[in-house]
Amino acid sequence: MSDYTPPRVWQSVSNGGKFAEINRPTAGERFEHSLPIGEHPLQLYSLATPNGVKVILLLEELLEAGIDAEYDAWPIDISSGEQFGSDFVAINPNSKIPALLDRSVNPAQPLFESGSILLQLSTKFSAFVPKEPTAKAACINWLFWGIGAAPFLGGGFGHFYAYAPEKFEYPIDRYTMEVKRQLDLLDQHLSEHEFIAGSEYSIADMAIWPWYGALVLGELYEAAEFLQVDNYRHVLRWAGQINARPAAKRAVRVNKTWGDKALRVPERHSAADFDS
């Protein structure tokens, strides 16, 4: 039983946890910092977290399809607060990765929020959104579902299960129940559809797979056994199917700065970076 009673007026405190040193209740830039600019029209500033992988996956799938969507990808160290630098905030005032600068237009167009970037790039290149109206509506429905659902998995379950300075039963139970409900929903849906929007691979898959695919494949929070992911066999089939795609194999390596050094591609400027 907790003996905590909320005060009448909340005051900012440091409560520990992985990002305690950079968390503040205020927005905006904190220091001057110039971002690098490469030679390609699309400049991506990101990290190989699930939200970052979404956009990288689309870009790599566009290239795999023979579409000229070349890009430079630069890592942003969110643990040290690089996302609060002046140039980054100018692209994304919300100071979250991913952020993308489209220099193919004048003036250059800043894009932020992973779902928005997916939607705008797929529109720009006329790819990975179904043309048929019912499938297109399903794609957009599930794209927005993924954007709304993932914070319960990441900021909710992931935070209290993996990152909070102490383990608390109530929030872990609360968010575990919600994540398992989401997995059950996806499992039921994928029992009747090859991909999220139906028979066609789309940006809806790209929005959902980096979170829920990684989760059931045992690559997120080391929580696969805890969540009994083997029960969600249709999600596992779908996750493995996307995981085998060449573009997906590349996407999870871009802007990765941890883990097996042989699999890291901290910066990406051309296809040759995957070989080096």
Q: What is the mean pLDDT of the chain?
A: 96
Count Cβ atoms below 10 Å from residue 92 Cβ, excluding itself: 20
What CATH number was assigned to the domain covering residues 42-128+254-260+264-274?
3.40.30.10
Q: What is the residue extent of each domain of the chain?
A: 42-128+254-260+264-274, 133-244
Phi and psi, residue 112, nearest 5°: -145, 170
- What class, spelled out in words, does domain 133-244 have in CATH? mainly alpha
C-alpha 164, offset from chain centre: 20
Across the range 246-251, mean pLDDT stands at: 98
Distance of alpha carbon 23 from alpha carbon 163, whole angstroms = 14
| pLDDT of amino acid 2 | 74
**pLDDT value of position 1:** 63
Phi/psi at 7 (5° precision): -70, 170
- State residue 20's pLDDT score: 76
- Alpha carbon distance 20, 22 (integer Å): 6
